[in-house]
Amino acid sequence: MRLVRAAPAFLLLSLAACLISCSSERNTIVVGSKNFSEQALLGEIVAQHIEARTHLPVTRRFYLAGSYICQQALLAARIDTYVEYTGTALTAILHDPIEKDPSAVFGRVKSEYQRRFGLDVLPSLGFNNTFAIVIRGEDARRLNLKTISDAALHAPQWRAGFGYEFMERPDGYEGLAHIYGLRFAEAPRILDLGLLYRALLEKQVDLVAGNSTDGLLSARDLVILADDKRYFPPYEAVPIIRSETETRHPEVRVAIAELAGKISDEEMRKMNFEIDGQHRDAADVAREFLHAKQLD
Amino acid sequence: MLGVLDVLASWRARQFLSRPPRMTPRTLSESDREPVIEFRHVHYTLSNRELLNDVSFSVARGETLVLLGRSGAGKTTALKMINRLLVPSSGEVLVEGKLTTEWDPIALRRKIGYVIQDIGLFPHYTVTQNISLIPRLERWPADRVRERVKEMLETVGLHGKTFEHRYPHQLSGGQRQRVGVARALAADPDILLMDEPFGALDPMTRGEMQNEFKALERHLGKTVVIVTHDVGEALVLGTRIGLMEAGKLARVYSPHDFVHASEPMAAAYMAQLRVYDEAKGEK
Amino acid sequence: MSPIQFFLRHHREILQATLEHIWLVGLTMIFAIAIGVPLGIVVTRKPWLSKPILGGANIAETIPSLALFGFLLPVPWLGGRADRLAIAALTLYALLPIIRNTSAGITGVDRAVREAARGMGMTDRQILFQVELPLSFSTMLAGIRIATVLTIGIATIAAAVGAGGLGEFIFRGLAMVNDQLILAGAIPAALLALAADFVLGALERRLRPVR
């Protein structure tokens, strides 16, 4: 039948396609990231460092839409590595209950990722991008507030502002209010993440929940209250690599491992501000960072 | 004009008849006194309509029974009982002495040639493939199949290589009908059923085909049941004519008796024919 | 950078995403045909099943694709790997045109042909494989063509749940507000759909039986 004649053509085409994709650089390392600027910056740091150390070609596949997407991309070998946060890995990928002890969380994530997915979790880059309860600097000094428990005493006179996600998450507002006995004058205002700090500075709200590495925190007179009751889970930034990639190119693991502990919370905030606040290019900021740390 | 065609038709038939017959007419024996097809008080009801009402008749070996009647008389329904495309609501239909309900339907149908008005050639098969359908299904050896197709094409008057590899859409109506007949005869069935076989053809071609078929059937010695509403056709082709009306079989006539019949229905048909003859201006 | 320069510079990634896309669509069509054609045949054999089967396929078609991907996420074996999930959802989508056209093609076969076949003593199986299916190839292929073009389009949404393919460029481009990235996904996807439509359409025309 005539269909039979078409079949060899199709076979040839698919064979060609296979060959192209297979030959497509088993040598290229693909670095992924999620879709916000801190992630793009971390991705750039990792990518540039691999390029400098191993001289392997690196492709960037940034702004993937979230943890699930990145995880799938790792499993399907569309990317070789990306930086995840331990708390997110624990709850969103492993579906384990929340843990507070950072080393316990890291240990569990590392062992489970290896066991379930064959993925290698490297030690933290040095910072913890957890939730931050933030108040204005003047209030902190005037009322001598250092911890969230301190602030809880003043909550009834304050208004709070939170992002939508913080309101919805189990490790968000509900748990926080319960653990610290927070009672605000009114129900918290729900604000777009980008507007939270502005509302705080303009005194429309008195307390917000942001991320501890937000750029504005280093540029404005804002204070993060210490989580004395250890309510928030740890979200340490850890690079994750495919085992196959490490087998093919052990030098990649060596390179990425050199970045461990190199970025503090404050350094991350500063770099985030350069990108978000000063609109600098992530690639430039990454390059400067690596140079400053003598990693290039 | 019609006469010339008649002559040509019978000349061709004679030509063919002079060759040694491949399908040997069987010599009559005891079992041939048994009717090949028998209807016993057959009723058929569908959606509360009675399509067949107490129909009984029999067909002897080698004869050609024509079921004549108007549209909706039940002739096609009766015909389809024979190859078990339909099954009686009550009553019995026997073929070769066995109830159709006892026959394996596939085996029964393969022993019966079936020709319908719209012919139903497979459009995706060549003439050869269409004709050889049943022989191939019956797993005849390839060379026997080839021989048979050639033979059948000759039999129905489609000579030469030109037709073997043509597709139905490349044939005229008359040619298609011939292929339909060839297909029905290919496995050499003892029984042939024809439902308005020449109805879709123009009158000239129809006349031609009727004459050719008549010569053929005499030669083949098969048992044939033909359904038609055309009186002329009934008279030309039938050894007996069964007149049907509203699901009932009025009476079975010989052609001679039919022509001289006094019953109102038969007489009406004959009157029609005479009108036609007069219109033709022939005597 | 002009779009053309962009395409040239990132041609390898675009090609890889295109191949991922073709892989998603290819597997989907294999499953959809393997399930849809037999179901289409069943519908012609047992007409009382046509309502549930066609109805079910219709429901799958009506659910917004993104929602269907989302529904399947929690399902244990499927949700674990996004490409499995995507192929499962895409297969459900592709079923309706295939089932519908298969059954329409078969019932559209000339009554006289079917009657002659039956009357001559062909078994139901022989009629199906030697008469009905060959004569309905063209119509079936039309359904496959529609399903393929549909799948190529919806597969771009599969990137939203991590299945990769050309949609990933589109989503990344949207997040970065980068037109060229969006085009890098959109244009190849459109070209794929056009190519599939053309090739399958040509095949369909060649197989159309002449009456």
Percent of chain B scored above 70 by pLDDT?
86
Instruction: Show residues of chain C in contact with B119, CB under 8 Å.
Output: 112, 116
pLDDT of residue A26: 67
Instruction: Show residues of chain A in contact with C162, CB under 8 Å.
Output: 68-73
Which among A20, A73, A78 has the least Cβ separation from residue C15? A20
Which among A6, A61, A73 has the least Cβ separation from residue C203? A6
Q: Does C81 touch chain A (CB under 8 A)?
A: yes
Quick one: closest CA in B to C116, which residue? B120
Quick one: closest CA in B to C112, which residue? B120
* ipTM for the complex shown: 0.82
Query: Is it the case that chain A and chain B have 3 or more CB pairs lying under 8 Å apart?
Result: no
Q: How many CB atoms are closer than 10 A to CB A194?
A: 10
Percent of chain C scored above 90 by pLDDT?
67
d(CA B84, CA B93): 9
d(CA B183, CA B206): 19
Mean pLDDT calculated for residue range A240-247: 96
Residues in chain C: 211
DSSP B187: T
pTM above 0.95, yes or no: no
Instruction: Show residues of chain C in contact with B122, CB under 8 Å.
Output: 113, 117, 131, 135
Distance from CA of B80 to the nearest CA of C (A): 9
pLDDT of residue A6: 56
For β-strands B191-195 and B112-115, DSSP reports them as parallel
Q: How many CB atoms are closer than 10 A to CB C68?
A: 20
Q: Are A72 and C15 in contact (CB < 8 Å)?
A: no
Q: Does A117 touch chain C (CB under 8 A)?
A: no
Half-sphere exposure in the Cβ direction for B143 (13 Å, CA): 0
Distance from CA of A65 to the nearest CA of C (A): 7
Quick one: closest CA in C to B112, which residue? C120
- Contact between A193 and A209 under an 8 Å Cβ cutoff? The reply is no
Q: Are B116 and C211 in contact (CB < 8 Å)?
A: no
pLDDT at B219 over 90: no
pLDDT of residue C117: 96
Quick one: closest CA in B to C113, which residue? B120
CA distances from A214 to A128, A130, A199, C121 (A): 11, 10, 15, 81
For the segment B236-268, what is each residue's pLDDT rounded down to a tens digit? 999 999 999 999 998 999 999 998 888 888 888
The whole-chain average pLDDT of chain C stands at 91
Tokens of A157: 């006179």
- Chains near C with 3+ CB pairs less than 8 A apart are A, B
For the segment A2-37, what is each residue's pLDDT rounded down to a tens digit? 555 555 666 666 665 555 555 445 689 999 999 888
Dihedral of CA atoms A234, A237, A242, A247 in degrees, nearest 10, equals: -110
Instruction: Show residues of chain A in contact with C179, CB under 8 Å.
Output: none
Among residues A133, A203, A139, which one has the least CA distance to residue A162? A133
